Structure 1
Amino acid sequence: MELGLHLTNYAMNAPADRIGPGLAEVVRTAEDSGFAAIAVGDHLWQSPWLGRVEQNVLEAYSTLSFIAAHTSKVALTAIVSGVHYRHPAMLAKLVTTVDVLSGGRAWLGIGAGTSTGDVEGYGLPFPPLGERFEMLEEALEVCLRMWGETEDPFAGKHFRVNRPLNAPQSVRRPHPPILIGGDGEKRTLPLVARYADVCSLRPGPELPRKIELLHRLCADIGRDPAEIRKTCVFVFDVGQRGEKVDQLLGALKMLADNGIDMVIGRVEGVDEVAPLEVIGREIIPVVAEFG
C-alpha cells in the first residue's frame, strides 16, 4: 500500500504572503517522508464539511503547478475536478501542462462534481446531477481525444471540440492516469470500469461490495480489474506526539485487506509538518508491506 497527501486547506489563518512558503515546506516534507502522491481539492471556496467557506482555498491547477516546482517524484492530481467547472478540452490542457512541467507526474482527477456554495456564489453553471453524469462521460471522451494520435473533432450533447489539438502532448503516454471519483453503482462505477486507471472509493462497510461490483463490471467488458488502482480518501491523525500511530496503522491495514492500493489522506496539523515526518518514519514503511 502507498499513501498520498490530500491538501484541503492552506494555512487557514496565515496572511496571503505566507501561504506559498508554507505550502512549499509541506510538499517538500511530504515527498521526503515517502508520500507517493499529493492531491488538492478542486473547489473555489472551502468545503463546509471541513471548515468555514471563508477559509483559504487556492485554485487547483495553479497550485499543482506550484507543487510540481517544489517536488520531483510525487504524483500530482486533483480530487476531483467537477465536470461543471471547466470545458473538458481546457481541463485536458491544464492537466497536460502540469504533466509536462512535472516530467510526467500528473493525473486527471475528475467526477460529476458537487458544490461548496462556490458555484452559486460565483454564478457558475451547476446542472442537475443526471446531466452532470452525461457531461462526465463526454468529458472523458474529449480528454482522450485531446491525448490521442489524431485530431478528429468531437460533437456531443454538451461539449463540442472542432480541433482537439494538444501541443505539447503529455509526457505520460498514452495519457496521464485517469482517476474517477465516487463509487455510485449505477453511473460512476460503470464509468470507472470503462475509462479509469485509478478510482477513489469511500471507506466503510460497503467497500468490499463496491470493489466486487467493479470487478464484475470490468469482466463484463473484458477488462482486467487489476489495471485499476483502488484508492480511497481518509484522515491521517497520528496525534500530537505520535500516540495514535497504532490506531492509524490498524485502520490502514483494514483498508489494505479490503483491496485498497493507495490511501490519500488529510493530515491533521499538516501546517506544522511534524505529523508528516511521523508518518514517514512510523507509518509509510509499515504499510508498504501490506498486501
Structure 2
Amino acid sequence: MSAQPRRRRQELGAELRKLRKSTGMNSTAFGASCGWSQSKVSKSERGATLLSPEDVKVWANKAGADRATVDRLVALAVELSSEDLNWSPEQGKLSERNAYIGEVERESAGLHNFQPSAISGLLQTADYARRVMTLLDVGDEHDVAAAVAKRMDRQTVLYDASKTLEFLLTEGALRWRPGPPALMLPQLDRLLSLATLPNVTIGVLPFDRQATTLYLNGFTIFDHPEDPFVLVETYHGERRFRDEDKLAQYRAAFSRLRESAATGTEATALIRRIMDETPRD
C-alpha cells in the first residue's frame, strides 16, 4: 500500500469532521448520538482509523448529509477498505510498499515480527534484500533498486532506543540461501551485530525444539499508538487486520512462538554455529 490511501483516508476524515461540525455537536456528543466513543470520532476525523462503510453511512445520515454526499462517502469508504486491507504487486511498486511500511514503523512504539522462511526485512543487508526482492519477480530492476534503498532507510528505526523491536526467526530462515556464501556470511554477521542493540530482541526457533504452535505465514504486529494492526504476508501479497479479535489472536500466536524460541546468548550461539556450517566458497 502506498502513502496515497493514507492521504485519502485523511481526506475522508476531513469531510466527516466538516459534517460533524455542521451539527453543532462536539466529538463527544456526536459520538454518543451514534453510540460511539469520543476516541472513535476523533481518530476517524484525523484519518488514524478507517470507519467501515456502514459507520460512514451512519455518520453522514446523522449529520443530515444529502443522498448524493452519503453515497459518495460510502463508496469512498468501500474503496479505501479494500486498499487498506490488501497489497499485491498489481496495486503498487515494491518501493512504494517499503516507503509505507517505513512510515508505519517510525510512528509505532514497537513491533513484533515473525518470519518462517527468510530473514526479516529490517535485519537484512542490502545484498540479501536485493536478492530476495529479485527472487520475488514482481518488480523491474529500477523498482528493486529503489525498494532496497527504502528498506535500508527503514533500518534507522533499529537505533531508536524508545522503540521495542522483537524478531522471531526459524532456524530454517537462517539456513535458507537465496544466494552464495558470500551473501549469507555477512548477513548472519549482521544479525549478531543487531542482537547487541538494547531495544532489539532476536529469537530463533531451533529445529530440535518442539513446536508450540503451527505457523503458516510471516506476520508483523505494529504497536501503533492510534492504529495498531497486524500485517500478514502471503505468497501473492499482504493482508492487514485491525479488529481487536484478530489482533489478539496474532499476539497470542506470537507469544506461543516466543515460548519455543532461543534468545539471548543461546540465539547468538545458534547463529554462530550456522555461520560455521556455511561453506566459505
How high is the TM-score relative to the length of structure 1?
0.26
The structure with the larger Rg is 2
How high is the TM-score relative to the length of structure 2?
0.27
More helix by share: 2
